[in-house]
Amino acid sequence: MTKADILDMSNYRIEKLPKRKKSEFEKRLAFVGSILAVAAFILFAFVIKLPFLESINPNEIVSDTAKNVYNKIGSTAFIRNNEFMLAIFAASIILWMTEAIPNYLTSLILIISLVLTGILPEKTAYAQLGHPVMWLNIMSFVLASMLVTTGLAKRFALWLIVKFGKNASTIFITFIVINLVLSAFISATTAKAAILLPIFMVIAAIYGAQSGVNRNNFGRSIVLQNLLNINIGAGAFVTGAGANLLGAALLGSAIQGNIYFGQWMMAMLPYVILLMIIGYFVAMKIFFPLKPEERLPQIEGGMERLKTEYEKLGPLSHNEIKSAFIFITILGLWATDNIHGISATAVAFVGAIVALLPKVGIVKWNEVDIPWHLMLFSAGAYTLGAALDETDLPSICVNAFFNSLGIGNQSQFWVLYLFLTGVMIFSALIFQSKTMRAMIFIPIAIGVANRFGFDVVSLALPVAFMNIHVYVLPFNSKPAALLYETDQYSLTDTFKYGLTIMIIGWILVIAAGETWFRYLGITPNGVFGI
């Protein structure tokens, strides 16, 4: 039997990696999850009567939409809607967390449940599939497919490695740059992982990294640093991940305005770059320092193999040039959206149309990879958001919580800032979906801000920023699950490295609240009120 060529990039494509099967624990969790979801719905909808829902004070309703609904249907019906809302919300979260059924199916059940219980009219519930952010997601996948189909993304990554990856240290730094640039153009972290995985796995092989018991620190470091940077890089841009777009949409609805691409990038790009650099030093100096022999290629002519792969791409094609021009133009328009006022969705629409135009364009529709199951999952999340706005359940729950603690309408901003950002970051150790975390914690942050009279953006936007910390455990994100299959690191490796970076990330957002975010006007007088 012929031994597989460890320097053949095609051997590291996603479809050739072993498929991860659910563990016995996960199977049991899925079984129990379905039972718990049904039980939660029945209990909250028909059995348990929560005092704070039974005595809703109309003066404490924050959402204008909810106020209109309350005035229209009256107190009794409004309370009933909130009971059903809590029941549906709890059941959906359980199903999403346990993956008792596919996430997109949970979303479909959620949507029709909101309709049948009368919380949302059909037009509002079904219309969320046409939400502007949904269209931005779809158009972004069209544009990302353009980069992948033409080979421009692969060419860029290989060129940087061949040009600047002269030794072990510069290879890691080069991947930081690659991840950051790709994050500006590709809104799916899984797509970035698919592009970069074959490249860094070949480099790992060149430097003697092997899977299983023969792992070395070069392999651990290059895979875990790329996992970190794939996810962290997405945080630099509002289009970097679907959860970012959802967070911006929830915030925009709350403030009756927009969170612009340029504003998000200005706030988060320095944070992301600094955390990537810190991640490099933590890996190379603390957890996975390279031995002298690990700094030298173990396969003679290995780097030349990458150079050959790059040369196989041939001269820059006409379509690649067009792809680069379209994307640079789009990025420029996105970055200046607060100046010209054209939404990111409209810009992506025009770019996608140009990319798909017959004879003029670059990519054909059947070459576009749009994960419709993720679109349906997102549609359910947006419908849930509309229902939360209709019932004002987050604010009602937040008020009840603080009332039960005897805390009035006064609290120090920094206490709330530290608590909310910390909860958002460390919730990634439990939750499997960035979208789900955005749906839970951003409305809570909005409710807390309204409760204590702080600007919604000052609390909810930093919370939205922290949704990118999904790299500690294999189930935290799709790239985490994918890269764990390379068998280049253990659970202990990813936990100790990831948790350290997560704690540092929290410290950095606290520092940013006192300095950079305050300068940008996001936080008022810094998190410590100085």
How high is the pLDDT of residue 261? 84
What pLDDT sits at residue 19?
59
Is the pTM value of this prediction over 0.95? no
Polymer length of the chain: 530
For residues 19 and 5, what is the distance between their CA atoms, to the nearest angstrom? 21
Note down the domain range covering 196: 9-17+133-367
C-alpha distance from residue 154 to each of 14, 135, 205, 310, 399 (Å): 15, 26, 19, 9, 51
Based on C-alpha coordinates, what's the Rg of the chain? 24
Q: Give the CA angle between residues 275, 281, 282 to the nearest 5°.
A: 85
Number of folded domains that form the chain: 1
Q: Per the domain annotation, does 61 fall within a domain?
A: no
* 269 domain residue, yes or no: yes
In a domain, 108, yes or no: no
- The closest alpha carbon to 231, from 487, 431, 434, belongs to 434
Q: Mean pLDDT in each 10-residue stretch from start to end of the chain (530 residues)?
A: 49 55 75 93 93 84 86 92 93 84 88 95 90 80 81 82 82 90 80 80 81 81 93 90 83 80 91 96 94 78 76 87 88 83 86 88 82 79 83 84 72 87 89 77 88 90 92 81 83 92 96 93 64
**Which residue from 83, 76, 93 is spatially nearest to 42, judged by alpha carbons?**
83
Domain contains 302: yes
d(CA 294, CA 304): 18
Would 247 be classed as within a structural domain? yes
Question: 70 lies in a domain?
Answer: no
Query: Does a structural domain hold residue 372?
Result: no
In a domain, 157, yes or no: yes
Cα(192)–Cα(519) distance, integer angstroms: 32
Residue 278 contacts residue 501 (beta carbons within 8 Å): yes
Gap between the Cα atoms of 229 and 175, Å rounded = 8
* 350 CB-near residues (< 8 Å, 6+ apart): none
